[in-house]
Structure 1
Amino acid sequence: MVRSMIAGVAGLKTHQSKLDVIGNNIANVNTWGFKSSSFNFADSMYSTSINGSAGNDLAGGAGGRNASQVGYGVTTGSISTSFQAGAPAPSASSLDCMIDGTGFFLVGNMINGSFTNVEESGLNLSRIGSFSVDGNGYLVDSMGSYVYGYSLVDGTGIPEKPATASKWTIKNATVTIDKTGTPNTISIGDVKVQTTKTDFKGQVQDWIAQVTKKGGGFEGFTINLENYNDGAKTVNLTIESNQKGVVQNAAGKPGDPGKITTAWGNGKNTTAPQGGTEKDNFTQTVIGANRVPGIAAEFSDELSTIQIPTDPDTGMAYNIQSYKINEDGSVVGVDEQGRTIAIGQLALITVENPNGLEKTNGYYYNIGPNAGTIEHIKANGGAAGKIRGNYLEMANVDLANEFSQMITTQRGYQANSKIITVTDQMLEELVNMKR
């Protein structure tokens, strides 16, 4: 009778443990990336009252006998985790992402340099791609751990350089034109334009010129007289330069038109007060003559932190205005000039035996001794999966299953408590036999 009470107590404890697992699953039904656990029972130790024996088929021998055993209840067999992917939930953050597959993100504290051995790195695994960029330009998760992946190969991922050549236009400038002379000089602020063409005959005239800047030096110029009317003195004066900001104001500040005056003289460098005097009449248009094409991004095969790269021209990190994570895990941004900047590529970690991972605080996993082979790969849509940007992974908790498990666990607990009650009643009857 004491054994039945021991079995009942063991049953109560074990069913309570199963209820703990169910309660934890339900509590995390809205936790991003949570993986539900299942509880498995196992028989407890046994007491053997009759040992088993083999039969003897010789003359006079006896037949075999089975062992007679009675158990001492139940205990925890195992608690396993289901790593089935949860449903995707849309996210407004462009740096949020989820793994559509079995892989894991690699996160943790800073490791200087690059490496390839994940197991010896001491880093954690995670299924939650809630990322952001910290003040130093590193990609981090919501718990402040660095996110590891593949950085740019030196000399690659450089965006195109926009054109530096510009078209400067003074709209509706009133100029004095002497058709009988040789208009060979225009003065615009501190810039003197010497034309090399001496005839003026067409309705629209092109002038090839050189500009003497304040302080010396020459820049190539093209001067276009557009919409010239024979009977009027209003024209559009357009200057195309090889460099931005060659037109200066009286203070000599590049790119600032200030008050512009224009004049044509009969072979003389005369300056008249007519012309566009408002800044609004002075516009600049990039014409692309000096555009430098970019260099396509290539990513390393070794693991490292992911950080916004540095502009080789300025030595400063690119000023990223928005981000995007592609299916192959590549993280790109758009700078203030509208250029696409490659930042890095997320790594996916494959685990031979995911149930060999050990959960820690938050949503991290440690690599346990029974996890098997650990490898890092680039997202390619295979078993490890691909990256889905602007989504987060929901918990894979099945509430219907959890509630049904809760009911059967509750009934099992009640049944074991009944065993204890009945055993107590039998002991009471035994005690009362002497009366």
Structure 2
Amino acid sequence: MLRSMYSGVAGMKGFQTKLDVIGNNIANVNTVGFKKSRVMFQDILSQTTKGVTAPSDTSGGVNAQQVGLGSRVSSIDTMHLAGSAQTTNNPTDLRIDGDGFFAVKLSADQEVPYLTRAGDFHVDSARNLVTSDGGFVVDTDGTQITVPDTAVSFSIQANGTMLVTNADGTTAAGQTIGVAKVVNPAGLEKIGGSLYRVTPNAVPDGDLGGLVAPGDATAGTGSIVAGQLEMSNVDLTDEFTEMIVAQRGFQANSRIITTSDDILQELLSLKR
């Protein structure tokens, strides 16, 4: 069979994956804290029809003759670029102005927290600060954050500390929201719900280590902005442009297959 036909099939599979990723990006264009992904390609091992010969005293060198066997997806990268800020004036809506991540535990006994950039938090009936899915937002000690029942109001400061106003008019500092800095954010694993799982390629040995307070200059996590949310970093202009490229690439590879089929048909008709 013709090698070009299999190359076309490989190309179509790659561009189908690219379209899948673009579709997911566009679907999450308004998802809080969402980070877009991109697809990168690489060529498949080439078939050598003639090897390399080195130059000698009597003749020059000859380059190899190789026929490529198509392409494949080399990586699907998550682009951890900052999304645009949306002002909500809701005191429990938080945005990290930097590279840090909020830490969330889906259960009180969970050891390693999940990470997220989505700061649309709420206070439940037990006065816990939770995500929209009920996950506990944790402090620098890894324990769930609870609003004191003596508080008539509270606010989150830029350093992550909860400033509580009591019924008698006094103010007091409460728990401090814990944030994490990841060496390689692209190594985090998406698990849905705008959450990421820590992996050994994100931090050494998969050990997140301790959480720090926002605004720590040595950690480089960035400070917290209350009353704002970080929106998706998806740019529709880029996505629709990439969609056109992927569509045309898919069509071009399908044309390779139909052209190869026409050639095979011509070969079969030689017997008539």
Aligned equivalents of 2:201 and 2:32: distance in 1?
A: 26
Task: Give yes or no for contact 1:306–1:343 (8 Å, CA) kept in 2.
Answer: no
Q: Taking structure 2 as the reference length, what is the TM-score of the superposition? A: 0.91
Residues 303-328 of structure 1: CA distance to partner in whole angstroms, max 9, x if unpaired? 3222234xxxxxxx42x232211111
Match of 2:264 in 1: 427
* 2:49 is aligned with 1:45: no
Amino acid paired to 1:395 = S
Alpha-carbon contact 2:108-2:136 (below 8 Å) kept: no
Matches within 5 A, 1:106-255: 106-111=103-108, 121-150=111-140
Structure 1 residue 62, shift from structure 2 partner: 4.4
SS, match of residue 154 in structure 2:
strand
Determine if contact 1:95/1:323 at 8 Å carries over to the other structure.
no
- Return the index of the structure with the highest Cα Rg: 1
**1:308-387 paired onto structure 2 within 5 Å:** 308-309=147-148, 317-318=149-150, 320-373=151-204, 374-375=208-209, 376-380=211-215, 382=217, 383-387=220-224
For residue 149 of structure 1, report the CA deviation from its aligned partner.
1.1
Report the residue type matching 2:6 in the other structure: I
Worse overlay, 335-344 or 17-26: 335-344
The residue identity in structure 2 corresponding to 1:13 is K
User: 5+ unaligned residues in a row in structure 1: which ranges?
Assistant: 113-119, 151-301, 310-316
Which consecutive residues of structure 2, in runs of 5 or more, have no partner in the other structure? none
Q: 1:3 is aligned with what amino acid?
A: R
Instruction: State the match for 2:101 in structure 1.
Output: 104
- Which of 298, 306, 314 pairs up with 2:145? 306
Describe the SS at the equivalent of 1:397.
coil
Change (3 A) 1:21 1:55: same
SS of the residue corresponding to residue 121 of structure 1 reads: coil
TM-score in terms of structure 1 length:
0.58
Shift of the alpha carbon at 1:53?
2.9
Matched position secondary structure for 1:98:
strand
Once the two structures are superposed, the pairs formed by residues 38-77 of structure 1 within 5 Å of their partners are 38-57=38-57, 62-77=59-74
Percent identical pairs in the alignment equals 43
1:408 matched residue in structure 2: 245
- The count of corresponding residues between Structure 1 and Structure 2 is 266
Q: Deviations over 1:84-125 (max 9, x none)?
A: 11111112421111101110001113446xxxxxxx932200
- CA deviations over 1:183-219 (Å, ceiling 9, x no partner): xxxxxxxxxxxxxxxxxxxxxxxxxxxxxxxxxxxxx
2: CA distance, partners of 1:332 / 1:366: 30
1:81 and 2:71 equivalent? Answer: no
2:91 paired with 1:94? yes
Q: Give the superposed CA RMSD.
A: 1.9
The change in CA–CA distance for 1:53 and 1:372 in structure 2 (over 3 A counts) is farther
